[in-house]
Amino acid sequence: MTRIYLDYAATTPTDPEVVKAMLPYFNETFGNPSSIYSYGQETKGAIAEARSKVAGLINARDEEIVFTSGGSEADNSAIKGVAFANKSKGDHIITSSIEHHAVIEPCKFLERQGYKVTYLPVDEYGLVDPDSVRKAITDNTILISIMHGNNEIGTIEPIAEIGKIARDAGVYFHTDAVQTVGHIPTDVNELGVDLLSMSAHKLYGPKGVGALYIRKGTKLFPLIHGGDQEKGRRASTENVPGIVGLGKAVELAQQGMTEEAERLSFLRDKLITGLQERIDHSRLNGHPVNRLPNNVNVSIEYIEGESMVLNLDLEGICCSTGSACTSSSLEPSHVLLAIHLSHELAHGSLRFTLGKWNTEEDIETVLNTLPGIINRLRAMSPLAKKS
Ligand SMILES: *Cc1c(COP(=O)(O)O)cnc(C)c1O
């Protein structure tokens, strides 16, 4: 059975061209970039080249990019790094209630250390109101962290507007752009951000590598102390193959970004419309327009998301309930609860996230397969019988 992968927001396969670019750095050009002989200089050069590519994609300067072990480390470094370095200025952080766990958990950790965190609510589409950010700022606010594109419901936040508010207030502004970098334009100056997180494995690069953009002049402490790699901002011998892979992935993403976003939006809308036509008692989650080009999130009444995912898997279709990060726990997604879904609807949600290797045929297969599964599950569901 050929499988149809529709979970690109959880992770993407590494592009074969990326793998090819990485391979020599495992055992041919394997030197430690800190070594002064030629092996080392070659890998040092490769890192510099990757750094330029990453900086170019987001309109940053090369020296403003720090490579990390992924999106989670970038988020942690931004939030804890700013909090620790600016403690004398204040102890208040503003974020939203729909952030990724890699942002929420460091914020909760800081609360246990005595910091104060405001978790802003969102509207029914998952949008943060920029005015609510403005109102939440106090003299003690040192950081605002609002994600660019939501990984579960696909809503794109008004980052540029919030960026202006943060700039006017003189407060550092971080955005988790893991779902947007390489997929839609993410220009740090247009967005007005001081810190931005990205991850290679969400844009056809390898897992275990990412980057944090740190605007020149931003004060933050490193999380990992040790050698003076990354200009003292992140110790540890560089993940050279991973960094080269991230650079290649960024280069490929940049080449056809607009066309690919248009192609995916077309497939996304075909799936959304098709599901609405063929499945009654279902609703689209997330913003209808300000939406990631590849995200479809629907709630289907009277059934469990888990049952749908397992039944789709038997038919060779891979998608997820709510979010991959929460699918091992029984609690419904905090994002779906934040947009005021009932626990029942939140439990009955499915996320399809599309990517490079999806075709129109894949979408048709889903549209031809899912209604049958839903009918069978509803026939067995005590919830459906009550209705
Ligand atoms: C995947 C993801 C992360 C975590 O990135 P890792 O590289 O897996 O650590 C953070 N934020 C968002 C929005 C994500 O989708």
Backbone dihedral region of 230: left (phi > 0), alpha (psi from -120 to 50 degrees) or beta?
A: left
Four-way CATH pick for 4-10+257-386: 3.10.180.10, 1.20.1260.10, 3.40.109.10, 3.90.1150.10: 3.90.1150.10
Q: Where are the beta strands (DSSP E) in 261-331?
A: 282-284, 295-300, 317-318
Domain with CATH 3.40.640.10 in the chain: 16-252
Q: Quick check: 214 pLDDT over 60?
A: yes
What pLDDT was estimated at residue 1? 75
What pLDDT was estimated at residue 387? 53
Q: What gap in Å lies between CA 39 and CA 312, rounded to an integer?
A: 49
318 noted as active-site residue: no
pLDDT digits (tens, 9 = 90+) for 297-307: 999 999 999 99
Q: What pLDDT band is residue 96 in, cutting at 50, 70 and 90?
A: very high
The answer to whether the CB of 173 falls within 8 A of the CB of 194 is: yes
What pLDDT was estimated at residue 382? 75
Domain with CATH 3.90.1150.10 in the chain: 4-10+257-386
| Cut 0.85: pTM above it | yes
pLDDT digits (tens, 9 = 90+) for 310-357: 999 999 999 999 744 445 566 889 999 999 999 999 999 999 999 999
Ligand 1: residues within 6 Å at CB?
A: 70-72, 75, 100, 102, 147, 151, 176, 178-179, 199, 201-202, 210
Residue 210: half-sphere exposure toward Cβ, Cα within 13 Å: 25
CATH class given for the domain over 16-252: alpha beta
Q: What gap in Å lies between CA 158 and CA 144, rounded to an integer?
A: 13
What pLDDT was estimated at residue 386? 55
Tell me how crowded residue 373 is: count the other CB atoms within 10 A of its CB.
20
Among 29-43, 212-226, 373-387, the minimum mean pLDDT is found in 373-387
Which of 199, 204, 294 gets mutated to test ligand 1 (max ligand atoms within 8 A of its CB)?
199
pLDDT digits (tens, 9 = 90+) for 237-291: 999 999 999 999 999 999 999 999 999 999 999 999 999 999 999 999 999 999 9
What pLDDT was estimated at residue 323? 46
What pLDDT was estimated at residue 329? 62
Share of the chain above pLDDT 90, in %: 94
Mean pLDDT value across residues 69-75? 98
What pLDDT was estimated at residue 324? 44
How far, in Å, from the CA of 12 to the mean position of ligand 1? 12
